[in-house]
A = this chain, B = another copy of it.
Amino acid sequence: MSGSRIVVIGGVACGPKAAARARRRDPKAEITIIERGDLLSYAGCGMPYYIQGQVETTDELMMTPAGALRDEAFFKGVKAINVMSRTLAERIDRQRKVVEVVSLETAQKQEIPYDKLVLATGADAAVPPCSGVDLKGVFRLNHPHDAEGIRKAVAEGCKEAVIVGAGLIGVEVAEALVTQGLRVTMIEMLPSIVPAVLDSEMAAHLQRHLESRGVTVLTDTRVLCFEGDDRGAVREVVTDKGNITAQLVLIAIGVRPNVKLAQDAGLELGETGAIKVNEHLQTSDPCIYAGGDCVESVHLITGKPIYAPLGSTANKHGRVIGDNVTGGNTKFEGVLGTVVFKAFDFNVGKVGLSESDCKKHGIPCVTAVVPGPDRAHYYPAAKPVIMKMIAHSETGKLLGVQALGTGEVVKRIDVAATAITFGIEARDVSDLDLGYAPPYSTAVDIIQHAANVVDNKLLGLAKSCTPQELKSRLDANDDFVLLDVRTPAEVEAQPFRHERVVHIPLGKLRERAGELPRDKEFVIFCKTSMRAWEAQRILEGEGFTRVCFLDGGLAAWPYEIPK
Cα A19 to Cα B304 in complex, Å, equals 45
Contact of A410 among B74, B315, B440, B444 (CB under 8 A): B440
**Pairwise interchain contact B508-A77, C-beta atoms closer than 8 A:** yes
Instruction: Closest B residue to A317 by CB, please name it.
Output: B431
Q: At the interface with chain B, which of A122-130, A178-186, A256-264, A370-378?
A: A370-378
Q: Nearest CB to that of A440 among chain B residues? A: B410
A379 engages B68 (CB within 8 Å): no
Q: Check B336 against A433 for contact (C-beta < 8 Å).
A: yes
CB-based contact A378/B49 at 8 Å: yes
The residue from B46, B351, B411 contacting A438, defined by CB atoms under 8 A apart: B46
Tell me if A45 and B527 are in contact (CB < 8 A): no
A28 contacts B436, C-beta separation under 8 Å: no
Q: Tell yes or no: A354 within 8 A of B by CB.
A: no
A445→B413 CA distance, assembly (Å): 14
* A503 beta carbon closer than 8 Å to chain B: no
Contacting residue for A65 out of B410, B414, B528, CB 8 A: B528
What residues on B are CB-neighbors of A490 within 8 Å?
A: 66
Assuming the contacts A414-B414, A508-B77, asked whether A378 and B55 have C-beta atoms less than 8 A apart, the reply is yes
- Asked if B437 contacts A340 (CB within 8 A), the reply is yes
Contacts of A418 in B (CB 8 A): 415, 418-419, 432, 434
| Chain B residues positioned under 8 Å from A537 (CB to CB) | 23-24, 27
Bound CA–CA A527/B64 (angstroms): 12
- Knowing A68-B487, A378-B63, A528-B66, say if A433 contacts B506 (CB, 8 Å): no
Asked if A435 is an interface residue, CB under 8 A from chain B, the answer is yes
Q: Across the two chains, which residue of chain B brings its CB closest to A444?
A: B315
Number of copies: 2
Known contacts: A24-B534, A461-B25, A541-B27. The answer to whether A312 contacts B415 by CB under 8 A is no
Residues from chain B with a CB closer than 8 A to the CB of A66 are 486-487, 490, 526-528, 530-531
Name the B residues within 8 Å of A189 (CB-CB). Answer: none
User: Which residue of B is nearest A335, CB measured?
Assistant: B433
Cβ of A207 within 8 Å of any chain B Cβ, yes or no, is no
Q: Determine how close the nearest CB of chain B comes to the CB of A508; give it in whole angstroms.
A: 7
Q: Is A514 an interface residue (CB 8 A)?
A: no
> Are B437 and A319 in contact, with the CB atoms below 8 A?
no
List the B side residues contacting A407 at CB < 8 Å: none
Q: Is the CB of A372 within 8 A of B421?
A: no
Residues of B within 8 A of A333 (CB): 431
A43 beta carbon closer than 8 Å to chain B: yes
Taking a contact as CB atoms under 8 Å apart, the answer to whether A339 and B435 are in contact is yes
State whether A377 touches B65 (Cβ < 8 A). Answer: yes
Main secondary structure of the interface of A (DSSP, over half): mixed
Complex CA distance for A410 and B435, rounded to whole angstroms? 6
User: In angstroms, how far is the closest chain B Cβ from the Cβ of A308?
Assistant: 8
CA distance A510 to B77 in the complex (A): 7
Docked-complex contact B422 and A434, CB < 8 angstroms: no
Kindly state whether residue A112 has any CB partner on chain B within 8 Å. Answer: no
Please give, as numbers and ranges, the residues of chain B lying within 8 Å of A507 by CB-CB distance.
Answer: 68, 73-74, 77-78
Most buried by B among A424, A432, A507: A432
Asked whether A60 is an interface residue with its Cβ less than 8 Å from the other chain, the reply is yes
Contact assessment for B436 and A380 in the assembled complex, using a CB-CB cutoff below 8 Å: no
Interface positions, chain A 1-47, Cβ under 8 Å from B, are 13, 23-25, 27-28, 43, 45-46
> CB-CB < 8 A to A496: which residues of B?
none
With A46-B378, A312-B445 known, 16 other A-B pairs at CB within 8 A are: A24-B534, A28-B541, A43-B378, A49-B379, A54-B380, A55-B380, A60-B378, A78-B507, A78-B534, A311-B443, A312-B434, A314-B443, A315-B444, A338-B434, A413-B434, A421-B428
What 7 pairs between A and B have smallest CB-CB spacing? Answer: A27-B541, A340-B435, A312-B436, A77-B507, A411-B411, A418-B418, A336-B433
Could you jot down 22 A-B contacts, CB within 8 Å? A24-B461, A24-B537, A27-B542, A28-B541, A55-B378, A60-B378, A63-B377, A66-B528, A66-B530, A77-B508, A78-B506, A310-B436, A311-B436, A312-B434, A316-B448, A338-B436, A341-B437, A351-B435, A411-B414, A414-B414, A414-B435, A417-B433
